[in-house]
A and B are shown apart, each in its own frame.
Chain A
Amino acid sequence: MSKCKGMFRGGGSALVWPIILLLCLTSNFNRNILPVAEAIWLTIPSSGTKCVSEEIQNNVVVLADYYVIDENNPDHIPTVSARVTSPYGNNLHQNTNATHGQFAFTTSEAGNYLACFWKDGSHQQDAELTLGLDWRIGIAAKDWDSVAKKDKIEGVELVLRRLEGAVQAIHGNLIYLKDREAEMREVSERTNARVAWFSIMSLGVCIVVSLVQLWYLKRYFIKKKLI
C-alpha cells in the first residue's frame, strides 16, 4: 500500500489515479480485496482430506498461504485444518479451525513434502469447500519488496533484477537435473550388469541343483540295492 500512498502525493490527470488505485487493489499487496491470479484453487471434499505434494531439494525456501473461498456464505465462512509434513514424517505446520493461514520453512531434507487440508468437524454440510493455495518455493518466494527498499531500486531495474534471479534459478535447476540424471544412469547400469550376472548364475544354479539331484538319487538307489 505504501507505493499507492507515494503516488497520491503528486497531482495528475483525473483518469490516472483510479487506474493506479485499481492496480494497487489487484496487486500482490492486497490479496483480500480482490483475488488475483497468484494461487490455484482446490476443492476440499465434504469428508476426507485433500493433499498436495511436491518433491523439493534440500535448502529451499517454501512459502505458502491458504484461504477459504466461500461466495455463498460470507458471514459464516467454513473452516479448514491443515497439516504439512516433511518427507521423514516431521510435522512442519499444524493448524485447525482457520479460514486462512500461512506457513514458511526452509527444507532441511530432500524429498516429498505433503500439505493436507480437511474440513473441520463443525461444518458437516455436504457442500464442498473451495480453498485457495498460494505455494511458492525458491526464487518465487523471495521478498522483492524488501530488496527494493534495501537497495533503493524500483521500476525497470527491479524487474531486471527479478529476471536475473529467474535466470540463476534456471541455471541451478539445470545442474540439479544433470546430477539426477547421473544418479539414475548409475542405477540403470548397475541393474543392467545385475541382469546379466543373475541370468548366468541362474543357469549355474540350475546345473548345480540337477547334479545334486542325480548324486542323491544314485546314492539312494545304491542304498536300496536297486542299481
Chain B
Amino acid sequence: MENRWGKMLALMGLLLLNWVSNVSSLSVTVNEVECVYEYVLYEGDTVSGNFVVVDHDIFWSSDHPGIDFDVTSPGGNTVHSLKGTSGDKFEFKAPRSGMYKFCFHNPYSTPETVSFYIHVGHIPTEHDLAKDEHLDPINVKIAELREALESVTAEQKYLKARDARHRHTNESTRKRVIGYTVAEYIMLALASALQVVYIRRLFSKSVAYNRV
C-alpha cells in the first residue's frame, strides 16, 4: 500500500511538474491579419488571455476604431470573437484539444502594435489518470491555486500593457502641447508681420499715389 501511494505521489508530482506554462506578453505588429497558434493539451482546459492595442497613431480622433479578434478551434469553428475593440480580456473553455488559432484583424491601413498574452490552464481531473489510480485532492487544490496565481499574473500583464498605451498617449500630449504652442506663437508673429507689410504696401507710392 505504501509503495503504491509513493508511486502515485511521484506520478502526481510528475504530472504537476509538467507545468502547462504560458508565454510572456509579446507584442506583434498587425498589418492586416496576424495569427498566433497555441496548443491546448487537454479538452476542457480554460484558455484565458488578454490583448491591448498599444500603439495607435490616430491623429485627432479620441476613439480608437479597434481591431477584431477571433479564436478558431482545430476543427475550424470560431470559438470566441471580439469586434472593434482596442483591448480586452477573454476566457473560454476549450471544446477539444489541439492547435488553436488566435487571429487579430486590422481593418484599417495603419499598422497597429498589439500586445497579447495567452494562457492555457489545466486542473487535473479523473479523466487524466488510469483506471486504477485515484486523484489526490491536494493536487487538485494546488492546481487551482496555481491557476488563481496565473490569473493574477495575467491581470498584471494586462495592466502593464494598458499602462504602456496610456504612457504613449501622455508622451504624445506633452509633445503636442510644446510643439503646437511654439508653432502658434511663431504663426501669430508671422501673421502680424504680414499684416504690417501689407498695410505698408497699400500706402506705398508705387501702387497709386494717395489712392487709399
Cβ-closest chain B residue relative to A159 = B16
| Among B26, B149, B185, contact of A135 (Cβ-Cβ < 8 Å) | B26
Q: Are B203 and A226 in contact (CB under 8 A)?
A: yes
Residues of A near B159 (CB, < 8 A) are 177
- Which of A16, A28, A50, A133 is close to B11, meaning CB atoms less than 8 Å apart? A16
- 8 Å CB contact of B130 from A16, A112, A176: A16
Interface residues in A100-138 (C-beta closer than 8 Å to B): 112, 130, 133-138
B35 touches A43 (CB 8 A): yes
Q: Nearest-CB distance from B57 to chain A (Å)?
A: 16
Give A172 Cβ to nearest chain B Cβ, in Å. Answer: 10
Which B12-38 residues have a C-beta within 8 angstroms of A? Answer: 12-29, 35-38
Give CA–CA (A86, B133) in the complex, Å: 50
Cα of A27 to Cα of B22 in the assembled complex, Å? 14
Binds B, one of A75-83, A90-98, A194-202: A194-202
- With a cutoff of 8 Å between Cβ atoms, the chain A residues found around residue B145 in the complex are 163
CA of A63 to CA of B36, assembled, Å: 20
A52 pairs with B26, CB closer than 8 A: yes
Question: Which residues in B have their C-beta under 8 angstroms from that of A158?
Answer: 13, 17
Residues of B within 8 A of A206 (CB): 188
Contacting B at CB under 8 A, from A9-33, are: 10, 12-13, 15-16, 19-20, 23-24, 26-28
CA distance A75 to B121 in the complex (A): 34
Number of interface residues of A (CB under 8 A): 78
Residues of B within 8 A of A156 (CB): 9, 13, 16, 138-139, 142
Known: A54-B25, A217-B199. A163 touches B142 (CB 8 A): yes
Which residues of B are found within 8 Å of A130, using beta-carbon distances? 37
Query: B99: which of A41, A50, A162, A210 is its contact (CB, 8 Å)?
Result: A41
Q: Which of A159, A180, A201 contacts B167 (CB 8 A)?
A: A180
Bound CA span A177–B189, Å: 44
With A167-B149, A187-B174 given, is the CB distance from A23 to B27 under 8 Å?
no
CA distance A28 to B41 in the complex (A): 13
Complex contact B203–A173 (CB within 8 A): no
Chain A residue with Cβ nearest B157: A173
**Are the C-beta atoms of B192 and A174 separated by less than 8 Å?**
no
Chain A proximity of B8: nearest CB distance (Å): 9
B18: which of A28, A195, A202, A205 is its contact (CB, 8 Å)?
A28
Known: A140-B22, A177-B159, A217-B196. A188 touches B153 (CB 8 A): no
Contacting pair A40 B153 (CB below 8 A): no
Measured between alpha carbons, how far is A187 from B175 in the docked complex, in Å?
Answer: 11
Q: State which of B27, B130, B195, B199 has its C-beta within 8 Å of the C-beta of A15.
A: B130
* Complex Cα gap A130–B39 (Å): 13
New A-B pairs, 6, CB < 8 Å, besides A16-B11, A226-B203: A23-B11, A35-B39, A38-B21, A43-B35, A202-B188, A217-B199
* A residues lining the B interface (CB < 8 Å): 3, 7, 10, 12-13, 15-16, 19-20, 23-24, 26-28, 35-43, 50-55, 112, 130, 133-138, 140, 154-156, 158-160, 162-163, 166-167, 169-170, 173-174, 176-177, 180-181, 184, 187-188, 190-191, 194-195, 198, 201-202, 205-206, 209-210, 212-213, 216-217, 220-221, 224, 226
Identify the B interface with A (CB < 8 A). 3, 7, 9-29, 35-41, 99, 113, 115, 118, 120, 129-133, 138-139, 142, 145-146, 149-150, 152-153, 156, 159-160, 163-164, 166-167, 170-171, 173-174, 177-178, 181, 184-185, 188-189, 192, 195-196, 199-200, 203
